[in-house]
Amino acid sequence: MDSKAFNILKWRLASKIVQSKPDPTYLMVFSGSSVTAGHDNYFNQSYPMVFKRHMEDIFTKLGIQLIVNNIAQGANNCIPYSFCYETMGGENIDFLNWEQSYNCGRDEPIFENALRMVAWNAPGIVYFSASGSPAVNHCPPSTDSVPYNAENWSPALAGLKAWKVDDSSVEEQKDFILKYNEAGRSWARFGGTSVDMKNALSCKLHFMTKEASIFGQESGRGANWHPPRAMHMLRGEIIAWQYALVLHETINMVIQDLLAKEISVLATELGDWSKKYGYLDAKPGYSVPTNDTVSELHVAVKVNALDILWICGNGKTALASAEFFLDTNVKLPSKKALYQPSEQRQAWSKIHDHADCRELYELPKGEHVLSVKNKGGQLLSVTHVVTW
């Protein structure tokens, strides 16, 4: 987690605490494969449920209903699964966990789809989580009276001082997270935030003992690509630890702000949290001014499985003044050359209106250029084009 992600999450949580809507909720959807689903362990041992057990009471005390939905499934294809986050997990997602690196860990459009779905609708945040877990079955058994990876372990049982939670200690831990991220992005090697993978694999951490390799099901065994019970616990507690640090700073910020202004004023300021950090709208957009009836937007499209395409803009009136032209089966110029419409280009009138989108139908198969022109009278904008 970098400083921007920390602050965005803080702002998001603050807006929930002070918003005027009754019974605010915080929806966390954990998507993924059999890893997140908790296969070879019990469902309540999966890391999303571990997080919920640690954090639910805290959210309740803040007046927020924490909803944690684990929608992960074994051996699922990234498409169509990645189009169904809201169908399976719920609408207006605040936090989306993505764990599909086994199936599509290098598929950039899949990453983009997750980011866009959450950014457009809530807007929320996406947490990218790696598949798999360290193998520790080669580590010796624990010599502690209660293994560090046991559910009932506590600092007191290990003879350790309880961590004193105050502003300075939280700031120290936050600084550790940020510096760790600066030294090497956690997502680059799927190494997590607080686990030194080299030490983990060499059994140097107290947590990494033989007991950490035992699965939750009765046999104690499981597939080598599935995290054992203790590794689910570690994942869930890492996420909970980061949320706890953010919440500590969030509560301090809200208290200080409430000393200076009414809660209704603060709720209004925090209502659109994305303005604070420049994420008012994550959609890239291309526009043609109201009085420009000459300029055109050109988009290369490939019509294949279906004879339709959807073109969408930013708002219900974004394409109200649009004219569409199709240049069929044209050879696109090199990147350095500008596209010039051919003589065979024609106006396209087979169009269905869908609010902020237009569906062009009965299109010929092939690679074409779709052009959009403004008839004038209002601003025209295009955000994305969808083909099948």
* Token pair belonging to 269: 């300021």
The answer to whether residue 270 scores a pLDDT higher than 90 is no
Pair of tokens at residue 253: 């910020």
For 164-185, write each residue's pLDDT tens digit.
889 999 999 999 888 887 776 5
- By the 10 Å C-beta count (0-12 exposed, 13-18 middle, 19+ buried), 326 is classed as buried
Least confident of 169-178, 201-210, 286-295, 339-348: 201-210
Quickly tell me which residue has 């994550």 as its tokens: 282
Q: What is the pLDDT of residue 192?
A: 41
Q: Measured between alpha carbons, how far is 100 from 143 in angstroms, rounded to an integer? A: 36
Kind and range of the H or E element at 65? strand 65-70
Question: What percent of the chain stands above pLDDT 90?
Answer: 49
Q: For residue 277, what pLDDT is reported?
A: 42
Element (H, E) at 116: helix 108-121
- Section 80-107 average pLDDT: 87
Average pLDDT of the residues in 37-66: 95
**Burial class of 164 by CB neighbour count within 10 A (0 to 12, 13 to 18, 19+):** exposed
Residue 268 is predicted with a pLDDT of 64
Find the range with the poorest average confidence among 311-315, 331-335, 345-349, 369-373: 331-335
Q: What is the pTM of this model?
A: 0.68
**Res 188: pLDDT:** 54
Q: What is the radius of gyration, based on Cα positions, of the chain?
A: 25
Q: Please tell me the predicted confidence (pLDDT) of residue 121.
A: 63
Lowest pLDDT segment from 42-51, 134-143, 257-266: 257-266
User: For the residues 351-380, what does the mean pLDDT come to?
Assistant: 92
Query: What are 81's two structure tokens?
Result: 């699964």
User: Which of 206-215, 252-261, 308-317, 337-346 is the least confident region?
Assistant: 252-261
284 or 253: which leads in pLDDT: 253
Query: What mean pLDDT do residues 270-275 have?
Result: 50
Q: Which residues pair with 296 in a beta bridge?
A: 373
Q: Averaged over 201-225, what is the pLDDT?
A: 89
Name the more confident of 189 and 364. Answer: 364
Q: How confident is the model at residue 189 (pLDDT cuts 50, 70, 90)?
A: very low
CB 32 within 8 A of CB 89: no
Confidence bin at 123 (pLDDT 50/70/90): low
DSSP summary character for residue 163: P
The more confident residue out of 345 and 8 is: 345
Contact 78, 266 (CB under 8 A): no
What confidence score (pLDDT) does residue 350 get? 96
Chain center to CA of 261:
33
Q: Which residues pair with 297 in a beta bridge?
A: 372
